[in-house]
Amino acid sequence: MKTGRTPQQGAAALAVVMILLLAMTILAAFANRSLLFEQRSSANQYRSTIAAETAEAGLEWAQALLNDGRRVDAHCLPAADQPTSFRERYVPKSSPDAAIAPVTTVRPGCSLGATGLTCHCPDAGGSAEWTRNDPSFTVEFAAVIGDPESVRITARGCSSRGSQCVPGSDAARADASAATQAIFKLRPTLRTMPAAALTTGGLVALDGWQLLNTDYATQGLLIDAGGAITLGGTPPLLTTLPGSPVENALIESDEALARLASADASGAVFFSALFGSTPAQFAAAPATRRIAGCTAISCGAALRAAYAEGDASFFVDGDLQLDAAGWPGAAVGSADRPLLLVVSGALRFNGGFPAHGLIYAAESSFDPGGAIDLQGALVARGNLAGSSNGRITYNSPVLRQLRSAAGPWVRVPGSWRDGRCADGDPARPCDLLP
């Protein structure tokens, strides 16, 4: 009896072992399947995160280049021999008072490799293209209905070189792609336009200067001064609106200007009334080229070199001797590209030369020196005294050009949207979706 039961017990044990082995195999297979699922899910999440972050980087990249006044080449690198900046190439304005007309036929962009960005800024009608299979983005521009000073930027990011980011290319579809968009608005550099050819916070004592203003919007105002006005010359060369007495174009002892000029020793209050920011904020603005660490003469050379690269808004942190030596056409700035110049130290004009733009002298006492022929306006925080045959002509188109061309682009708060509506027409605003 005992020997007869032993094989039966072995068979039962074998059956139990086989059942346990099968159960372990099923558990192992299920665990492996879960691991594979987690790996695939993690890889997808990784690629989608790359695409989303790359798209967001595209928005930041576009804003940075819009605020860089330097001219760029086909690879988006600064190049003084090129005709246009990034802003002029993709969001141009036909005139100071015209609406922004964004270029919608081209998508500049970059690929993000281990050694940095490789970018493409093609002209209208071209396309951004590269051969590296790295994460990439492209950006496109569209007008904002009802706001002529804004542009909607849509950025498309891909986890690799993909047709979603570079339409029309021979690239395959990237494993992951994302799109984001935001509205960027052009913030004017000047809070208020100067209302006179010459504006000072103190007294004015000029001998031999010519002042002209025939702009009806400003009522032909020639001088607006916080102190007394003394003009020499035989006779003083003053031109205002036809039929209007010259005395009506001169405002002296302007209490508002005097209070602003004496509000603080640094002149920040006076500056802010015109620019809407403090001197430090203006100097740090992304659209401003700051020039520092140089002598008066070398600062002039640095200013000329920066203007040649495409910049138009400048803050000179120190003294400046301004002349036209080496400038294109021997003129400081031009009617098409006037300059906005703020000088925190001593400013002197060297010799006689033409200039276009707005010049701000921050010194408490300003002697301009040479005979500048300025088309635009001159603003001095403190007293202004000098003897020469200089001339200032109030030029409203030049000032309007500066007000928009030299201003920074800022992102409109709350305008960011994801790519739900970016797969079709980029001009379709996400915030109007039901």
Helix 268-275 to helix 255-262 angle, to the nearest 10 degrees?
A: 120
pLDDT at position 66 is: 93
How far out from the chain centre does Cα 255 lie? 36
Radius of gyration in angstroms for the set of CA atoms belonging to the chain, rounded to a whole number: 32
Q: How far is CA 50 from the centre of its chain?
A: 26
CA 363 to chain centre: 28
CA neighbor of 48 nearest in space, from 181, 182, 174:
174
Q: What pLDDT does residue 376 have?
A: 96
Copy the structure tokens of residue 281.
């904020």
* Amino acid (one-letter) located at 182: A
Phi, psi angles (nearest 5°) of residue 44? -65, -40
Tell me what pLDDT residue 19 has: 76
Digit-by-digit pLDDT tens for the chain (434 residues) are 455 555 566 677 777 777 777 777 777 666 666 666 566 666 677 888 888 899 999 999 999 999 998 999 999 999 888 888 999 899 988 787 788 899 988 889 998 877 788 898 988 765 556 667 788 899 999 999 889 889 999 999 888 877 778 766 666 788 888 899 999 998 888 888 899 999 999 999 988 889 999 999 999 999 999 999 998 876 568 999 998 999 999 999 999 999 999 998 888 999 999 998 999 999 998 889 999 999 999 999 999 999 999 899 999 999 999 999 989 889 999 998 999 999 999 999 998 999 999 999 998 888 888 889 999 999 999 999 988 888 999 999 999 888 777 788 999 998 888 865 545 544 454 544 43
- Coil, helix or strand at residue 324: coil
Question: What is d(CA 8, CA 312) in angstroms, rounded to the nearest whole number?
Answer: 99
CB 409 within 8 A of CB 186: yes
Q: Which residues contact 322 (CB under 8 A, 6 or more apart)?
A: 300, 303, 332, 341, 347, 348, 349, 350, 355, 372
Would you state the pLDDT for residue 5?
55
Strand 136-144 to 109-113 pairing? antiparallel
Name the residue ranges covered by the structural domains of the chain: 47-186, 198-406
The tokens for 266 are 């640094």
Task: Give the separation between CA 196 and CA 426, rounded to whole angstroms.
Answer: 43
Backbone dihedral region for residue 374 (phi beyond 0: left; psi -120 to 50: alpha; all else: beta): beta
Alpha-carbon distance values, 31 to 23, 24, 26, 34 (Å): 12, 10, 8, 5
CB neighbour list of residue 157: distance below 8 Å, 6 or more residues apart: 50, 51, 52, 53, 54, 55, 56, 57, 58, 135, 136, 137, 165, 177, 178, 179, 180
Q: What is residue 7's predicted lDDT score, i.e. its pLDDT?
A: 59
Name the amino acid, one letter, at 414: G
